[in-house]
Structure formats: C-alpha cells, structure tokens
Amino acid sequence: MTSRRQINIDALERANARLGQFLEAYTALDEHHSHHSIYRAAVVKGYEFTHELAYGFIRRSLEDAEAWNDVDRMTVGDVLRAAADYGIISSAEQWFYFRERRNDSAHEYFDTVASRAAEAAPALHQEVTALIATLTELNERI
C-alpha cells in the first residue's frame, strides 16, 4: 500500500492560467484579424501542454490512491475511467474528447484540426480548473 503525499500543483496552475490568458486574447480578436491564426496557435499549444500536465497529475493522484496500485499498466482509457470513479475528474468521456483533440493537433496541424482544438480549449480550461480544486482538496486532507 502506498501512502498519499501532497502533490505540488504549481505547474498545472500556471499552465492553466496561461491557457486562460491565451483564450482571452484569442476570443477578443475578430477571425479576420491578421494575428488570428497566431493567437489560435498559442491556444492550441497551450491546450496541448495543459492537457499533458493535467493527465500526468491525474495519473499521479491515482498512484497515490491506495485503491489503484497498477497505474503503470493501465491504458489511458482505464486511467481516465478510474479517475472519474475516484472523483478526480467529473467525466471520463469529456477527457476522452480532450485527448482526441490533443492527439489530432499534436500529429497533424491543419486549420480544421487547429480550430477543433481551439474550440475545445475553453472546456479543458474549465475542467482543469475543477481538477486543480480537487487536487487542492486532496492535498488539504493530508
């Protein structure tokens, strides 16, 4: 059995805050603005980075939960379902969607792919904000 330890979530908080800043700047621009695609690229990269960090924190929080001893052997889907069961995230399906958008944007960068990731970014930002609150609460219980 493992014992729960506090998780330093500063990096996740910073990444999510930066994603929020990117989103704010991006949504303030008209889509015909000359810098619109540059701001969208910032949102997409912020999305990818924040998603990767968040997934790492989800895995780590499961590793610390005594009920989940085999996280290293779990698939991404199993990790997300277990995290939802454990109450770390609200919906595995939502995170499957985020993962799919991240995979698409990381492997092929076309305007339609970038647009889909940028469209998913506000929901990811909101879910990561909730994840941060959950991890903070778990840390306070230690």
Give the side-chain half-sphere CA count within 13 A for 134: 18
Residue range 14-33, pLDDT digits in tens: 999 999 999 999 999 998 99
pTM summary value? 0.89
State the Cα–Cα distance between residues 38 and 71, nearest whole angstrom: 37
- The one-letter amino acid code at 60 reads R
In the chain the domains, ranked by start, together with CATH numbers, are 10-140 (1.20.120.330)
Residue range 71-118, pLDDT digits in tens: 888 999 999 999 999 999 999 999 999 999 998 887 776 788 888 999
